[in-house]
Amino acid sequence: MTAEETVREYYEALERGDPLVPYFSEDATVKFGVGESLFGADEIAAALREQTRTTDDWHVESTGLDVTEREEFAWFGDEVALAWTDTETGQRWTFDTRWSATLEREDGEWAFVAMHVSAPRRL
């Protein structure tokens, strides 16, 4: 599987509500989300499990995916229309987001080692 296929598969897993932890390296360093800053693989994994448990009805629409792949490392940037429902409050969240991440090949598979998702704030 290519790095681009891994990114697209991650988006699809997010939409389906599938576990996301397997997409991250056990050596992952950081994941910045729309409203979170996570450091280290354990914190990232715990937050992803909680996110899967407390959210539903994801919409992930990629509009600018650009992936560069080398032998052992890859990186990407994207603009993504992102929406989900908080299952505890019923609130629907919608954001135009920007994504960037670094991936590393581990045992022949691509895994995220760092990810940044942000919502631009218009002034």
pLDDT digits (tens, 9 = 90+) for 3-34: 999 999 999 999 999 999 999 999 999 999 98
Domain residue extents for the chain? 3-118
CA-wise closest residue to 101 among 119, 118, 115, 80? 115
User: Which residues neighbour 77 within 8 Å (Cβ) at sequence distance 6 or greater?
Assistant: 64, 65, 66, 98, 99, 100
Q: What pLDDT, on the 0 to 100 scale, is given for residue 102? A: 98
pLDDT digits (tens, 9 = 90+) for 51-72: 999 999 999 999 999 999 999 9
Class of domain 3-118: alpha beta
The span from the CA of 73 to the CA of 45, in Å, is 21
Structure pTM? 0.93
